Structure 1
Amino acid sequence: MNSLLLLITLAASLMGCSKKAVTPVTPPPVVVTPPNTYQDPAQYGTPFTGVPATKDMVMYEVNMQTYTPATFSGVTARLDSIKALGVNVIWLMPTYPIGVLKAIGSPYAVKDYTGVNANFGTIDDLRNLVAQAHSRNMAVIFDWVADHTSWDNAWITNKSWYQQDASGNIIIPPGTTYTDVAALNFNNTDMRTAMIRAMKYWVYTANIDGYRCDFADNVPSNFWTQALDTLNTIKTHKLIYLAEGTTSAEISSGFQLDYGFSYYSTLKGIFAGTQSPSTIFTTNSNEIASIPSTGTKLRYTTNHDDASSDGSTLKVYNSKQGALAAFVLAAYMDGVPLIYDSQEVGYPGSISIFTNVPVDYTANPDLVAGYKQIIAFRAAHEAIKTGTLTAYNNADVIAFEKKSGTDDVLILVNARNSVVNFSIPAGLQNSTWTNGFTNASVSLNTQYTFQPYTYLVLKK
């Protein structure tokens, strides 16, 4: 019996020794890619179908802080008056919450790209403003600040989304003194994606019609290409893109419009007596030549920056008549005209963007009538918008003719604060025209006498 047990034990031992060791196989880790849960917001309202062609635009910049009350509702109450000027595009200065940390009150220190400044009202008030503008056949564009945010924007927790110095400190925009804002880092793809989504947000959420993009020269052009290409995938909207910049790269990136900084500077110089009137033609042609043919210049006699730094148009152009004469040149030579709210009523002082500056929008009805007249003539004449320009150089009078097909207009502006006896150019002598504002017949012989800063707008 014991022998039998010994044999069984020995056999079991031998069998165990004959087994090979088995190494456990660890399965590869399962990598779970988080689903992309982003979805565009639902479309609010019906997309506006009346966005004008670029050549037909007349733009009006709204600074909410000049209205009484200084709210979205305050602007809505003035839409009929704005429309009556001949405006078809409204640009709203920033409507977003303003940062508090390191703040100086600038509306361009954005705390929340998808928020609404509660001082102006609610999202519903903003939507109503846009809807009411659309009902009056006016498009609405927002101001977009891509270069920087406020220091208390929620994005600041993503430090890599911002430019940093060698010590890893977030910096202000290079080359500026804007201490109230932090410079964004466009090498960060996550930041770029978040910004583009925020731009799309307002097209859907408030049914807007595009953007005026602040400080566009300081943002890489490849970002603008990416952003505008993405926005253009929204096929339900025809969107307007205005760059506060001057580089041809911005137009190549998809902007239809950029700024006529040099034109404004030249206008100021002419009316200050430091530049000859004929320099406006050189400036005009140089600006147009500096951008691709797909682009157009925004032309203005003031805007929110210039109304703050240079003061009233009545000061810059020496009088109400001078302000209107300058606007004729901005509106008629080449490009798209802009009116900054307050200029049409001749507000006499500077307009700060940092505080409320209530404007009396019932003032100077004669000046308002002058702006209406100038804009109405532009709207009626393709020659003004797209015609070929012929300049007639003169030491005092800015004279030019524009033709498009059978449409032929002649613009004569006395750029001097004095009476000028204008010698009619040989090619225009003994010609008969019609006054574009009064429909009276006008004969041009060899001379024409202009009172200070007066202008003559003629048509064939």
Structure 2
Amino acid sequence: MKTTTILSLKGLALLTFLFISWSCKKDVNSSTSGSSYTDPFTQMPATEDVVMYEVNLRAYSENGDLQGVMYRLDELEDMGVNVIWLMPIYPVGQVNSVNSPYCIRNYIQVASEYGNLRKLREFTSMAHDRGMAVMLDWVANHTAWDHPWIEENPGWYTQDGNGNIIHPPGTNWQDVADLNFDNMDMRAAMIESMKYWVEEANVDGFRCDYADGVPYDFWVSAIDSLRNIPGRELLFFAEGNRADHFAAGFDMAFGWNYYGAIKNVWNGQATSLMRNTHIQEYNNAPAGKHWVRFTTNHDESAWDATPMQIFNGKKGALAASVATIFTGGVPLIYGSQEVGVTGTIPFFSNTQIDWSKNGDMLAEYESLLSFYSKNKIARTGVNTDYSDDDVLCYVKSLNGKELLIIVNVRNTTVLYDMPSSVVVGDDWYDERDQVKYDFGLQLILEPYRYYVLSR
């Protein structure tokens, strides 16, 4: 009787294990996704072809989770997005906490507020089926004060003369503890944590937070190690101003100087500031490396203002986006700007985006980005600049074909003298609206009027 009872319990345990295992596998693949999370992504765009979309999970949907983004993947595909950057998905520290998603309590967990590992696997599979890569936000410089490493390996953290772990020097980030990159064991554990997400959730790269705070040689080692994972093609995006990020292996970096330039131009400075800044940035970028162009991101929309405020309303915000998208570089859209959110968007708390607002603006973003994503001239054409102080105007050329970009950067009507080489032959065509334009030698441009035309 005793033996029979033991065998029955073992049998029940085995059946329970098999059922749970089957259920987990079923859950992972139970979406409309046609691929397994283990299948490497085979449609990674060249860096010059990236159209990036940043997601603040806490604001994106009512529940602030991965599922809320999954509901809109078809719309992002239609928009031409091919890289989705998710803000940090990890558990947030509870000690000295301000609830920042950049205060990481565990590098290899999905926070329950966003979902779980199965849901992330489902998300990457669905994104891949739609031709979109998934990039995680990585915070290498510091951790939460209740990260397991604090107790297990205090030597992995920077300490003062009394042996106390400190917050990052030169900052007021009291909610996080500074990591010690002189410790090789910590470095190895960090790289293994990054590998975990590539191998266990099939992610396609990392946007690296505060990359300036982390030593150059760590980034070289980490990026080399991750690129050596068999069958994977990965993207790396640095947040920082240091000159060595491209050399370390990053594919992209924030174009902060251009962002500052476009704000100054909208405040009255001549358009030459944008042109000169763009040229200067690319003079300092190796071939194949690119600057990310944006009119906002999670930091700017939280602490500065949204594009609707900075660029003077809907027309001004759209005109600024045309300038950033078509000048050159990698365009970045921050989820919310396409519906003209006016108030700042926090990411330390949940504030839902109202997707029902400004449908006309959303439609225009979808039209502009879809055109950009399908038009090689828009992405890689060589610029010939015809701008004056108040009008951005250039022709992008590639293989005998041309794209004309005209943007009135002022909130007033301006008269622009058209270059004869642009007027001659005319035959300019708006592929988005299917309208043909024949210009005279002078063009009257209404406030923030723009054209994106082909011939």
TM-score (norm 2): 0.89
Aligned to 1:36: none
Q: Tell me by how many angstroms 1:123 deviates.
A: 1.3
Q: Tell me by how many angstroms 1:279 deviates.
A: 0.7
Asked if residue 235 in structure 1 is aligned to residue 226 in structure 2, the reply is no
Contact 1:247–1:291, Cα closer than 8 Å, also in 2 = no
Aligned to 1:122: 116
Aligned to 2:253: 258
Aligned to 2:221: 226
Aligned to 1:23: none
Aligned sequence identity (%)? 42
Asked if residue 440 in structure 1 is aligned to residue 435 in structure 2, the reply is yes
Contact 1:382–1:407, Cα closer than 8 Å, also in 2 = no
* SS in structure 2 at match of 1:134: helix
Q: Tell me by how many angstroms 1:44 deviates.
A: 4.9
Aligned to 1:362: 356
Aligned to 1:35: none
Aligned to 1:60: 53
Report Cα offsets for 1:232-276 as digits up to 9, x if no partner.
Answer: 111211111111123331111111101000111111112222x22
Report Cα offsets for 1:22-45 as digits up to 9, x if no partner.
Answer: xxxxxxxxxxxxxxxxxxxxx952
Contact 1:431–1:445, Cα closer than 8 Å, also in 2 = no
Distance 1:407 1:430, change over 3 A: closer
Deviating beyond 4 angstroms after TM superposition, the runs of 4 or more aligned structure 1 residues are: none
Aligned to 1:245: 240
Aligned to 1:316: 310
Q: What letter matches 2:333 in structure 1?
A: I
Q: What letter matches 1:65 in structure 2?
A: R
Asked if residue 396 in structure 1 is aligned to residue 382 in structure 2, the reply is no
Contact 2:37–2:122, Cα closer than 8 Å, also in 1 = no
Name the structure where helix makes up a greater proportion of residues: 2
Q: Distance in 2 between matches of 1:71 and 1:376?
A: 26
Q: Distance in 2 between matches of 1:431 and 1:398?
A: 21
Q: Distance in 2 between matches of 1:279 and 1:212?
A: 28
Aligned to 2:416: 422
In structure 1, which of residues 289, 298, 308 is the aligned counterpart of residue 292 of structure 2?
298
In structure 1, which of residues 259, 264, 270 is the aligned counterpart of residue 265 of structure 2?
270
Contact 2:423–2:441, Cα closer than 8 Å, also in 1 = yes
- The residue correspondences of 1:19-38 to structure 2 (distance < 5 A) are none
Contact 1:248–1:292, Cα closer than 8 Å, also in 2 = no
Aligned to 1:4: none
Aligned to 1:12: none
* SS in structure 2 at match of 1:125: helix
Q: Distance in 1 between matches of 2:37 and 2:453?
A: 45
Aligned to 1:3: none
In structure 2, which of residues 49, 68, 78 is the aligned counterpart of residue 84 of structure 1?
78
Q: Distance in 2 between matches of 1:190 and 1:220?
A: 15
TM-score (norm 1): 0.88
- The residue correspondences of 1:117-266 to structure 2 (distance < 5 A) are 117-157=111-151, 158-266=153-261
Q: Distance in 2 between matches of 1:362 and 1:206?
A: 32
Distance 1:134 1:226, change over 3 A: same
Structure whose alpha-carbon radius of gyration is higher:
1
Q: Distance in 1 between matches of 2:387 and 2:341?
A: 33
